[in-house]
Chains A and B, each alone.
Chain A
Amino acid sequence: MGKLDKDGGKSLKLTRRQFLQAGAATAAVGAAGLDFAAKPSSAAAAEVAATYHTTCPYCSASCGQLVDVDAEGNVLDIYGDHNSPWNRGGLCSKGAGSYQLVNNPRRVGAWAGSHPVNNTFAYDPTYADGIAYKRTGNGPWEKMSLDAALNESAAAMVAARGDLAVAHEENNSDTVAFFGSSHINNDQNYLYRKIIANFGTSNVEHQARI
């Protein structure tokens, strides 16, 4: 299978990539049974305070995953759930990298210290009740409290919608747009859809359309 693989790019570092394939359990196509490269937790057993069940955040095969956390709630590792009938512990190169997604230093607002993209996005204890970032035109991002941002956003959405009772007799504004997501859970999507219906529009779309 390697022959027609994506070789040929100038900047590929093949030796490093081969290392990654071994270490990160890149999609392994095996010969028998549910042969899907599995790797146990990398967390030191003594540090693991609890293990939680979740599912992989990438494709809809929904491979079972286990999350090891320490006593402070730090995620130590995310690895395949050997009990799941969908993957029996295996994960592909995306799923095996879930730990990097959760602990990614480029996440906005998640971590203290210098931020690799923009130091404005570093954790700020003065916004313990939630933070948001705002820019005007193409200006720089500026920090503000979450509630202030939500209040401004809500006021802007209402202004764009107009007065439903007058302008839109059937409670369906066509001057605002909401995009939802297949990346968030059912219960969250249900809540989002309810909010949009309460708000008064059918202008809602998400990735299922594409």
Chain B
Amino acid sequence: MTNNWADLGNGTLFVVMGSNFVENHPAATAHALKAVDERGAKIIVIDPRKTRTAILAEAHGGRYIRQRPGTDIAFNMGLTRKIIRMMEGLEGDVDQEVKDNFFTFLNQSESQTFYNNDGTTRSRDLGSRYTDARFRVNAAGTDYVRETGTGDTDMLYFPEKAASVNEPDTVYSRLKEHVEPYTPAVVADICGVTEEELDFVARAFIDNSRHMSSKLTGDSVIGLQDPRDKGNYRATTMMYAMGLTQHTCGSQNVKSFTVLQILMGNMGRAGGGINALRGIHNVQGSTDMGLLYHLIPGYSGNPRETRVQNSEAFGMYTDKLWGQPTRYGELPYDDAYGVSGGLQARGFYNMTLKWFGDYDLIHGMPYGTRAEKDAKRAAVDAIYDLWPKTNGDDHILMFRKAVAGHITAMMVWGQNPAVTEPNQSMVRDGLENLDTLVVVDMFENETAACKRKEGSVTYLIPASSYAEEAGSVANSGRVLQWRERACAPKGNTKSDLELLLRFTYALEGAGAFSHIAAKWQAAPLSWTLSGMHPVYDKLYKEQYGWSPADATGFEDLTENLEMWYADSRGFQASAPVVGSEVVAEKIYQQCNIRPANGGTMWLYLDGYQEDYTSRKHGAAPGGAAQDDWKVFNRSKNRDSSDPNGTLAYPGWGFSWLVNRRVLYNNGDVPGDNGDGYQGPDKAARLFVCKQPNTIGYANNNWRLVHGLSDRPDVIVAADASSAEHSVYSGRFPAHVEPYETPREDLAEKWGRNTKGTAKWDLIHGQATKVATNDASYNAVNRVSADSFPFVLTTIRCVEHFQGGPITRNNPWNVEAEPTPWIEINSVDAAAKGITTGDMVDVITARSNSTSDQEGRTVGAPFAEGFIARVGVGAEDNQRVGVGVVAIPWHWGDRGLSTGSRANDLCIDSMDANTTIPEYKACLCDIRKVEM
């Protein structure tokens, strides 16, 4: 979320595409309804399914619009086209002042100060305070047109700007060309929506934008607008979840939101923004921590540069990180070796030394003379060598490699891929074929219980519950909150922290870290090592305070670690913590102290701070009155007041970045910490620049910009403008069809999504990359609506959660929602002879729902199909439209409640940028199961 949960209460329009928050984020409902009650806000739900959220919207004066699955971009580009036409006076009846505000906003420029190479500074016009709308782009350009420099500084390569967005070669004009093919008739054909519906949404957007807000509040169009002016403040928020991302074009779907919100000035405003409603309670935090094949903590990519390739690999890697300053006469990355490197670079330096070496020793090396610099660099470079270089494999591919016998051992810690992964046949073949499978979970889940090959070994290690362990979690609004250890882990179970430390100790015993020990002993480090576990002792015990070899048990740890401060008394005090609170606090401090003091998580800057003005709940140390006591660990802050009246709650937990509650706010949100756009070009981007590298101008706010690598595989059509956009469509979102689609005619015209310039197939498991327009290949591998006439989409319900272990074992949840079901339109049900309560078999090219897929599951009968819930009443008002069926995916073969797995059916085609599977659209057939 760019904003946060409570901030939803500042919005006046909620555009919801691909989220059913009433069921999946129920607390969001309360915040949205606060805005409905206090501001007359409206909710618009655009979704293939009339969800409970859609029904909520209608019940409060909003609207539901049904679309065909997988057509979000076409809708949003049609909407963009209509909004532009209304703002340009070509249609509709928009107030002149609002139209003027729209262009004033897009044309707004701003000056900033930059450093020249000789150390002097100068100000220059960045071209835009908010957006890149005025930047120049060539017709076939994949980057902005860049300045070539004026000779007097090294500030080269800034984008060239036009005087006005209305010049023909601006980003704005290119966007206008791009959306021109998305006429109401075309959008109606692709999405199944009417022009009246597009008009309605466009009008709602305009009436609830920055531009309308300025007119009503009388504020300057670029200035501060006050959300506390409830009568006049207007802001649209766009909300999405998996319904938007689980497509082959998921990233571009989200990009289509940014185009709309940037144009309408709704980014960086209270009640506005783009709000990704993330799934699991700590999915934000686990992503922050880089548990993905392409990341390390803090969104730094895996180190790629090796010293085999270049002796200055560490410097070359850190040079791409944000905030790395360059100074006259030095190599760009000189400072990264330890003194005053930029935030992300300094955090990476700290992390490198604390993860692989000895921070105190190496950081303490002098760095003045050339000889000193060389010596310290050599030490840092030696430690940097230990980072695994380059990316791993994505989740789908890892199971395929297990099938092939390439991956032979797997550890699954708190996940249940035997329910959650698409195309279960392949996943289960992979799990079966592993030599070793280690599962850590509270329950004997489907993954632990899956069918295994003869002679293989499976371990199930019992985990404690969340109430039995301390640590911080990051919610969807980026707010860190501390979880207290309410009691010791139950029975034989252990906390994750204890299990991890004991596993690490065992790893060293098995020789896993011998490469680290060898590096330490070799020149230039030449350290003398002692003991049986020198790596564990240095990198874990010394830093986190416990070893399995210690006499003190993990849960018996006690340490005065929680630091407090009281302004009135002017002193500090510490309070004792026990067990996992000790280790979790130590890790939190390692991450969250300032990078300049050795903190490793630059992203969490100021998450641990002694001068903050909030407080923890409960009594202070020694029983003192709590009112002016503060705790350094800001995730423990529990001040529930709203001092600015803007629903920001700055004293509740800690929000990255620097407790800013609305990202990209440009100082426009009262009371919030100011923010600016930090990309190389200092502007929110309508255009996806294909130039991913940092630009070489001297300024200490630059970083790698992520481009999108997908492009549709078919050249669209007739006129010059659309041919241009299709070839370079990654620049702006363009409609593509799902991998399996009932509209092959549209796929031929608009294409499917492919990755990069090589148009290779998006389905894993093919031996070689295959052209998606290869007719002979498609004849065999791509099914059509002739044999699979329905579109299958997957859904969730409020009573169950994800892969199911933590709800399908609870009697209340199971009793409330005991079995998986299928939602069918009454028209389709009648044609198939299905009535409510019948069991329905769903068949796709991959599997069906009533057989145990070649015995891939051990024990428990579960594959009985889905209970039919047939729509009632007018067909357009039912849960799903004609030709679409929906099934929940929470079920499997273990737990109090078992049921057919949706993911036996789902396709493992994937987003070209992120490799998220296309759970939301594939082709299927259905049939009634004769009992």
Contact = CB atoms under 8 A, between A and B. Distances in A.
Interface of A: 1, 4-13, 16-17, 20, 24, 26-27, 29-36, 50, 52-64, 67, 69, 73-75, 78, 83-88, 90, 92-94, 96-98, 100-102, 104, 106-112, 117-118, 121, 123-124, 127-128, 130-138, 141, 146-147, 149-161, 164-165, 169-195, 197-210
Given A87-B30, A195-B504, A203-B293, A108 B444 contact: yes
A121 B392 CA distance: 35
Contact of A187 (B56, B290, B497, B512): B497
A201 B296 CA distance: 12
A53 B460 CA distance: 29
Contacts of B468: 102
Q: Interface size class for chain B?
A: 35 or more
Contact of A209 (B385, B395, B500, B821): B395
A197 B812 contact: no
Given A57-B466, A137-B453, A184 B496 contact: yes
B490 interface: yes
Contact of B409 (A101, A147, A176): A176
B414 A184 contact: yes
Contact of B819 (A9, A88, A112, A138): A9
A63 B27 CA distance: 7
A87 B27 contact: yes
A185 to B, nearest CB: 3
Contacts of A10: 837, 867
A149 to B, nearest CB: 5
**A97, A106, A175, A191: which has the most chain B beta carbons within 10 Å?**
A191
Going nearest first, the 3 A-B pairs with the smallest beta carbon separation are A185-B471, A181-B414, A62-B475
Contacts of A176: 407-411
Interface in B745-783: none
Contact of A193 (B277, B290, B470, B836): B290
B539 interface: yes
24 contacts: A20-B815, A27-B22, A52-B485, A55-B281, A61-B5, A85-B649, A92-B798, A97-B812, A112-B491, A127-B492, A130-B494, A133-B462, A152-B459, A158-B511, A158-B512, A170-B308, A170-B389, A171-B385, A183-B414, A187-B471, A188-B497, A189-B286, A192-B289, A208-B287
A168 to B, nearest CB: 8
A197 B296 CA distance: 9
Contact of A178 (B411, B466, B870): B411
Interface in B300-357: 302, 306, 308, 355-356
B288 A186 contact: yes
A11 B840 CA distance: 15
Contacts of B588: 186-187
Contacts of A112: 491
Interface string B380-410: 0000011111111111001001100011111
B323 to A, nearest CB: 21
B92 interface: no
Contacts of B587: 187, 190-191
A99 to B, nearest CB: 9
A101 B286 CA distance: 21
A153 B491 contact: no
B4 to A, nearest CB: 9
Nearest to B402: A177
Contacts of B461: 132-133, 146, 149-150
A97 B896 CA distance: 15
Contacts of A172: 388-390, 392
Contacts of A209: 292, 394-395, 914-916
A191 B497 contact: yes
A106 to B, nearest CB: 5
B563 interface: no
A164 to B, nearest CB: 5
Interface stretch (B191-199, B513-521, B694-702, B727-735): B513-521
Nearest to A198: B513
Contacts of A108: 441-444, 460, 462, 493
B535 interface: yes
A34 B436 contact: no
A208 B914 CA distance: 10
Given A83-B638, A150-B499, 17 more contacts: A11-B819, A27-B798, A36-B29, A85-B642, A92-B26, A93-B813, A107-B462, A134-B458, A138-B452, A141-B444, A151-B506, A157-B409, A165-B518, A179-B411, A179-B412, A188-B469, A199-B513
Contacts of A199: 507, 512-513
A31 B492 contact: no
Nearest to B447: A179
Contacts of A20: 812, 815-816
B506 A57 contact: no
A208 B283 contact: yes
Contacts of B454: 137
B465 interface: yes
Interface in B792-833: 797-802, 806-807, 809-813, 815-819, 821
Contact of B392 (A63, A135, A147, A202): A202
A59 B24 CA distance: 7
B809 A106 contact: yes
Given A9-B819, A27-B26, A61-B27, A53 B482 contact: yes
B840 to A, nearest CB: 12
Contact of B286 (A97, A154, A159, A206): A206
Interface stretch (B31-39, B266-274, B662-670): B31-39
A19 B150 CA distance: 75
B421 interface: yes
A192 B413 contact: yes
Given A62-B281, A185-B584, A202-B302, A106 B443 contact: yes
B491 A123 contact: yes
B507 A195 contact: yes
B652 A85 contact: yes
Given A158-B511, A193-B289, A193-B290, A107 B457 contact: no
Given A190-B591, A191-B500, A206 B292 contact: yes
A47 to B, nearest CB: 14
A179 B413 contact: yes
Contacts of B452: 135, 137-138
Nearest to B5: A86
Nearest to A117: B444
A55 B291 contact: no
B98 interface: no
A86 B475 CA distance: 10
A210 B395 contact: yes
Contacts of A5: 52
B879 interface: yes
A136 B642 CA distance: 57
Nearest to A74: B487
A24 to B, nearest CB: 5
Given A107-B442, A110-B493, A55 B488 contact: no
Interface string B438-455: 100111100000011111
Nearest to A55: B481
Given A9-B819, A200-B388, A100 B811 contact: yes
